[in-house]
Structure 1
Amino acid sequence: MSNPIESSETSSLKGKSAIVTAGSRGIGRGIAIHFARKGLANLAITYHSNKTEAEKTLSKCRELGVNAIAIQADAMDPAIGPKILKDALGGLNVTTIDILVNNAALSDISRVADVNNMQAEHFNEIMVANAYTPVSLMVAFMEHAPKHGGRVINISSLVSKLGNSDPMITYGATKAALDSFTRSFANTFSTATGITFNSLAVGPVETDAFAMVNELIPGFHDMQIEMTSAADRVGNVEDIAYIVGFLASEEGRWVNGASVSANGGYKQVLALFG
């Protein structure tokens, strides 16, 4: 008979250490702060260039009692996985990392060429940032996770499930690749490592990236509200953070290899998750 879970919402990550990539703003910041509220002990976030925003995340987490650091990282660095793990372990003064949240992605659609004009360099850039980088981190994480109870949560997108139009065709393909890697890691490594691997099919969320798309596509915001079934709004970062918090805790131990709906019941993908 399995042991019952004995934890409260405010302490379900007590004593744990986590890495959240792209934790300086948006969804990453929301996840980092939610982890802190759930009792996380140690946190490393990564940021690309905006150290000021990263410090804002750290300040809030430290107010909640977390030992928190920020690591500057470039998603195009071929050694990114081992580098971030090394910097996190050293900076936090820990020997293991319990939770990895792969949130960083190249999501600026103004930098993604449409398929008719795409060159190999464009394809490689977005595929490295959105697929290779999280895979590199997962491989490095497995070497430094605890013997049981490690968690990997990959922030994917519902566009991985859709037939997309430009400028989202290639971006959607990179997220589909990440989902495939997530399932394969669960199938191949979970039994031996005790780590669960899951991805989130995130829908429209009020972030800087969402605002950018809304500027490029007139009426985009209202269209997304119309497609969302759970409420008369799009998502916010807390909606995503709550789901990640569940998967990261002991309560989420029996979820593995899943693409978890985190999109407010987006109407185009309801049949996939129902």
Structure 2
Amino acid sequence: MGSIDATPSPSSLQGKIALVTGGSQGIGAAIALQFARKGIAALAVTYATNSKGADSVLAKCLSISPGLKTVALQADLLDPAIGPSLISKTLEGLGTRQIDIIVNNAAVLDITLQQPFAEITLDAFHKLMQGNVFAPMSIINAALAYLPQKGGRLINISSIASRLANGDPILVYGASKAALDSVTRSLGSLLAVKTGATFNSVGVGATRSGSTSAAADALGDEVLQAVVDQSTIEKRIAEPEDIALVVGFLASEEARWINGQHIPANGGYKELLALQG
């Protein structure tokens, strides 16, 4: 990849092309804005139903970087052909034959699928695993042919739930994120040398977003308070920008020697400190 002095700033994303799934709000929106600040050349974001949110995020990105090329794409994580379909639309929408950075941020968070262990149905299990594990795999697989010769970045947004012993009703959600972490490690070992890319996941805790509000409504504010109590940096839940800063680093040349790793971005979550070693 060359020496770190080959570019004026190894933190820059100047000239890079990125796809961020779930970019209409929350963490995905913050990542898109961080990429714009770091000088990215072209950016695609996906949304499930919130097209206005995605358009608003891209408008903010353009206010930061007026020359940025952008496209908002509707995508369904439960589409069996999501990878080939989305990558094709991204290439066409941005007018490119290369994608440098992919951030799999979108996830199936439907509260109705978060069922207690004793009541879990095959349908709910299947949808959580398909959306949170198969969909990122499908997207990465379809993108491999369009990565740069060196320096590609594949970043999966995971969760503290992948490392915790989870209670009801998020046991299967946690299992899906643990599976995503496992896939990320495996791809880092299997494909990094072959593709010249790195594969990493980012483990986040409760972050201020619509999904966090929905979880609080469904599970009670005490669930969020328990997360706040576990933070060892500040007694608060994360802001989306806290996660975006970490992802921006992993997407840059500065992170070229990090591969197959689970990067904790959870406020120093107390219960995980010993595990993280």
The SS at the match of 1:75 is: coil
Distance 1:7 1:232, change over 3 A: farther
**Equivalence for 2:256:** 253
Does residue 95 (structure 1) correspond to residue 81 (structure 2)? The answer is no
| Distance in 2 (alpha carbons) for counterparts of 1:43 and 1:141 | 15
Q: Which moved more, 1:191-200 or 1:215-224?
A: 215-224
| Distance in 1 (alpha carbons) for counterparts of 2:2 and 2:81 | 40
Quote the offset at 1:110 in angstroms.
3.3
**Equivalence for 1:36:** 36
**Equivalence for 1:173:** 175
Opposite residue 79 of structure 1, the aligned amino acid is A
Number of equivalenced pairs: 273
Among 224, 227, 231, the residue aligned to 1:221: 224
Quote the offset at 1:16 in angstroms.
0.3
**Equivalence for 1:211:** 213
Deviations 1:106-125 (A, max 9, x none): 12333322221122111111
Among 228, 234, 242, the residue aligned to 2:245: 242
Q: Which moved more, 1:112-121 or 1:224-233?
A: 112-121
| Distance in 2 (alpha carbons) for counterparts of 1:222 and 1:202 | 16
Among 175, 193, 196, the residue aligned to 2:195: 193
The SS at the match of 2:117 is: coil
The SS at the match of 1:39 is: coil
| Distance in 2 (alpha carbons) for counterparts of 1:132 and 1:220 | 28
Deviations 1:149-184 (A, max 9, x none): 000000000110011001110000000000000000
> Is the contact made by 1:43 and 1:67 (CA closer than 8 Å) also made in structure 2?
yes
Quote the offset at 1:222 in angstroms.
2.3
| Distance in 1 (alpha carbons) for counterparts of 2:183 and 2:111 | 23
Structure 2 alignment gaps of length 5 or more? none
Does residue 25 (structure 1) correspond to residue 25 (structure 2)? The answer is yes
> Is the contact made by 1:109 and 1:168 (CA closer than 8 Å) also made in structure 2?
no
RMSD: 1.4
Deviations 1:159-210 (A, max 9, x none): 1001100111000000000000000000000001001000011111111111
Opposite residue 12 of structure 2, the aligned amino acid is S
The SS at the match of 2:103 is: strand
Percent identical across equivalent pairs?
Answer: 45
Quote the offset at 1:99 in angstroms.
0.1
Does residue 59 (structure 1) correspond to residue 62 (structure 2)? The answer is no
The SS at the match of 1:49 is: coil
The SS at the match of 1:219 is: helix
Q: Which runs of 4+ in 1 moved over 4 A?
A: none
Structure 1 alignment gaps of length 5 or more? none
- The TM-score normalised by the length of structure 1 is 0.96
- The TM-score normalised by the length of structure 2 is 0.95
The SS at the match of 2:166 is: coil
| Distance in 2 (alpha carbons) for counterparts of 1:227 and 1:217 | 17
